[in-house]
Structure 1
């Protein structure tokens, strides 16, 4: 559909909108100016422009100025309770405790949160990050922070960025009415769209609440666009066309949005253009129009977008698999979803004769899907165990992140394998895989098989000693045995400063320790690539604030890949 045809198509609608536009203007909902729509709903830097409503009042503080009372008493309006400490996880549920932010000001907490990486390098890091962001805790002192600095909104944005939309919805819905801002309401609607719950996003309760916080121009445009999407979702294309005409009259130039909306409502068949922004609403329109998500959406990779691409049926399999692998590695996609995509990917007849070594050498997502299918298809238990060990060993030597994702995808098959003497050669690799993802119980039978058949198990022969090290870390928290002290190893990495991390752990400042640990690991490529000296300091710091489980999970990921 050409640009000129589109103008002619909407000319009649625009002629009919005069009274509608006037009514909207009187109601205060007509747009004052065209916004910048380049922001993602989850900015790479949580504190960047567009991530918070401009001019938002402080969540904790008086809503009115002081006023004199009788008998010289100075009276003030009661301050609204701060929502910054709100969370979903108490300590018994994995939360990090009420003293999480102890020792940090609001500015300090926000700065550390801003220092988190755009994507998380491992599942253990993702689990720890999720626990921190969802913990109920006493909020840090506001100090001299600007009114727009909301710790809650920053946490919500990070949960969204890392691909936890269900947690975003749950956290925002727990916010008291007096603390619910339009920015938080928008994040809830976006998260529902990402989860493919348009019917909930379109409910009236998802609209911006009546608060003292005004809508920004950008937020106002978002709600208008959401209304258009909801009209299309409800099978009301004529109303949606009228809404698009009004947006055009107001100077909103987002042809990517308009064309996708027209395709979704079967109003036109124009070829989708690259949208102004790949945001939650745009992804919902691609889904509604049954269109593939463009490759540009994954450049650079973003966890929540990778999750959306992985779940987009019209998108080509190779792109879906590449996004699914990244999303699963960082915790944004369940392992069973990756396993489903691996198993459901069509394999060309010409490729079905390729052996595992060839597929590993190719190193593509499609080749890994074929290798996954080949292992699962084997019926002979010994052959299946040996093939799984070959696949996992090859991936471990090439890419630690992909290796751990493959382990989690294969986990149901690995657990079902019979532990037979004929599979002795595969036992070290399969046991290592179980330890790497924290399934210590499943590793036991394979270790016992080795104990019964190898006198050298505890003499450090081959890779068997690595299993002993992993077992001691898993059951005893033995960091010294897993990562011996070696000051030279730290000096070889001058870009990594561990002094502040150690000092925070010594003060038992949990939030500061966790955030510094996560940033440190991200700076060296995650647990599977981190130097042993750095890993040692990070794990000791986490143990120092009582997070033994997190330290163990990160250490096992590292050993599964790095141990000989």
Structure 2
């Protein structure tokens, strides 16, 4: 057998030489097969997050498989935990073995980013992804990200290339839109009817019907990328109240929230500005709504803080500044508050504000912490909750304060003890990715308001130990802000 192979090689070399190929080149003629590495669907960054390229090192693959699909589900996260989720999923870092090269997990990463309002980043990483035609989930992520980015052509190319599950309701709706866009009115009408037969969607039916027949379209709808694309095609106002009310978290970044007054300087105008801000902030009845209002009013709050005059409700304005991430304005407002009588605030409110400023600035003041504990000793449940939240970021207590703190009743924990133990172990071992995922799994079960203070404090402590200090601070600040909404 070896003799036959040698004879074949000699004959090939002779033929190549006869054709004028040099002997050194001919000797290298042997075909070499190189196996391409499988793509890693977590390696491409969606944004610069500051997290390391070994984010998922030692993360249990099954934890990642379990948690990431939940982040793109119907249960909302509180703003701080949503920010943590976006930060983790936007990081370019190879996934754990068996996960990073799995096309369906790559799709879940992208779908979660879109659901968290990071369609732009998802669109970027999906440009480099492979395998979309054979995966309905990855194709859906690609199409939705493109539609939200306004790239309807890319979405339609994705739909055309899909080779599986083409009869699903989502694909029928998108196909009808693409056919309409291409001027294929009759096929679009037929596909539209098939889509409605598959699953009724009143908003899609209203918009698509208007696009096909010219009937009154009504208000824009921002429930998903297809409805948004139809709303754009019909030139509808996506900033209308009805459109804003319909917006899913994926589409909310497209909304411009108003409520701010800017460019004023006179005393009379500043008074009107403050009154407008206070009304805007006070109408927020939930923590997420308050954070949205604070961000919308942040520029004018900064103007008021810099002006240096007295404020009608300084603690509320300082809390709003912190909710918007403006520590300097909150510190400026707090610096002007002296004496025992502060408009709209109690001594406990001031103690909590001091804790907020300390947590947001990353400097846990032992005196501030001690003051909170003293307030909590007298039976102040909110002061006790504030103390446990602030203490999760560090600080030290004297013997008397430790004894007082140990007697606090923080309520029954809600989080699973098993998950909390895995979280704390991950924090101690510096497994950043795993710690973040377990924290998010607890947050998903807690709803839009986030975990209760006792659970939130343990989460923040574990994340701090893991090296996710910025996220831990944000989670504590959010918890302290949320105490104002606890009855």
Both proteins in one fold, TM over 0.5:
yes
What are the equivalent positions in structure 2 for 1:427-506 lying under 5 Å apart? 427-450=314-337, 453-454=338-339, 461-478=347-364, 481=369, 483-484=387-388, 489=409, 492-497=412-417, 498-506=420-428
Deviation at 1:377?
13
Gaps of 5+ in 1: 1-74, 292-310, 344-371
**CA pair 265-525 structure 1, distance change in 2 beyond 3 A:** closer
Deviation at 1:406?
0.9
| Conserved? CA contact 1:473–1:556, under 8 Å | yes
Deviation at 1:172?
0.2
Quote the residue 2:124 is aligned against: 170
Quote the residue 1:216 is aligned against: 164
- Of residues 107-116 and 490-499 in structure 1, the stretch that sits farther from structure 2 once superposed is 490-499
| Conserved? CA contact 1:87–1:171, under 8 Å | yes
What are the equivalent positions in structure 2 for 1:61-72 lying under 5 Å apart? none
CA–CA distance in structure 2, aligned partners of residues 220 and 523 of structure 1: 29
| Conserved? CA contact 1:427–1:446, under 8 Å | yes
Corresponding residue to 1:531 among 448, 452, 464: 452
Corresponding residue to 1:100 among 36, 55, 76: 55
What are the equivalent positions in structure 2 for 1:48-63 lying under 5 Å apart? none
Quote the residue 2:238 is aligned against: 312
CA–CA distance in structure 2, aligned partners of residues 157 and 120 of structure 1: 14
Deviation at 1:198?
2.3
Quote the residue 1:233 is aligned against: 181
* SS of structure 2 residue aligned to 1:423: coil
Deviation at 1:220?
8.3
Q: Please tell me whether residue 78 in structure 1 is matched to residue 38 in structure 2.
A: no
**CA pair 509-231 structure 1, distance change in 2 beyond 3 A:** same
Q: TM-score, normalised by structure 2?
A: 0.68
Once the two structures are superposed, what CA deviation does each residue of 1:501-522 show, in whole Å capped at 9, x if it has no partner? 2122122221221122123234
Quote the residue 2:91 is aligned against: 135
Q: Please tell me whether residue 507 in structure 1 is matched to residue 429 in structure 2.
A: yes
Greater Rg, structure 1 or structure 2?
2
Once the two structures are superposed, what CA deviation does each residue of 1:238-271 show, in whole Å capped at 9, x if it has no partner? x3314545897999767867885453143x6599
Once the two structures are superposed, what CA deviation does each residue of 1:212-241 show, in whole Å capped at 9, x if it has no partner? xx711336886676454234335x2xx331
Gaps of 5+ in 2: 1-31, 370-385, 392-404
Once the two structures are superposed, what CA deviation does each residue of 1:173-199 show, in whole Å capped at 9, x if it has no partner? 122x57875543442222222334324
* Equivalent residue pairs, number: 407
Q: Please tell me whether residue 385 in structure 1 is matched to residue 274 in structure 2.
A: yes
| Conserved? CA contact 1:404–1:437, under 8 Å | yes
CA–CA distance in structure 1, aligned partners of residues 265 and 180 of structure 2: 42
CA–CA distance in structure 1, aligned partners of residues 33 and 58 of structure 2: 29
CA–CA distance in structure 1, aligned partners of residues 74 and 195 of structure 2: 34
| Conserved? CA contact 2:464–2:472, under 8 Å | yes
Once the two structures are superposed, what CA deviation does each residue of 1:295-344 show, in whole Å capped at 9, x if it has no partner? xxxxxxxxxxxxxxxx736x7x2x444446x84xxx853497122xx58x
CA–CA distance in structure 1, aligned partners of residues 483 and 194 of structure 2: 60
**CA pair 139-288 structure 1, distance change in 2 beyond 3 A:** same
Corresponding residue to 1:189 among 134, 137, 143: 143
CA–CA distance in structure 2, aligned partners of residues 539 and 321 of structure 1: 33
CA–CA distance in structure 1, aligned partners of residues 425 and 268 of structure 2: 55
- Of residues 421-430 and 433-442 in structure 1, the stretch that sits farther from structure 2 once superposed is 421-430
Q: TM-score, normalised by structure 1?
A: 0.60
* SS of structure 1 residue aligned to 2:478: helix
* SS of structure 1 residue aligned to 2:76: coil
Q: Please tell me whether residue 548 in structure 1 is matched to residue 469 in structure 2.
A: yes
Quote the residue 1:333 is aligned against: 252
| Conserved? CA contact 1:88–1:135, under 8 Å | yes
- Of residues 147-156 and 216-225 in structure 1, the stretch that sits farther from structure 2 once superposed is 216-225
| Conserved? CA contact 1:542–1:550, under 8 Å | yes
| Conserved? CA contact 1:505–1:541, under 8 Å | yes
CA–CA distance in structure 1, aligned partners of residues 115 and 483 of structure 2: 29
CA–CA distance in structure 2, aligned partners of residues 395 and 248 of structure 1: 43
What do you get for the CA RMSD once the two structures are aligned?
4.4
Deviation at 1:140?
0.9
CA–CA distance in structure 1, aligned partners of residues 81 and 277 of structure 2: 26
* SS of structure 1 residue aligned to 2:87: helix
Q: Please tell me whether residue 407 in structure 1 is matched to residue 297 in structure 2.
A: no
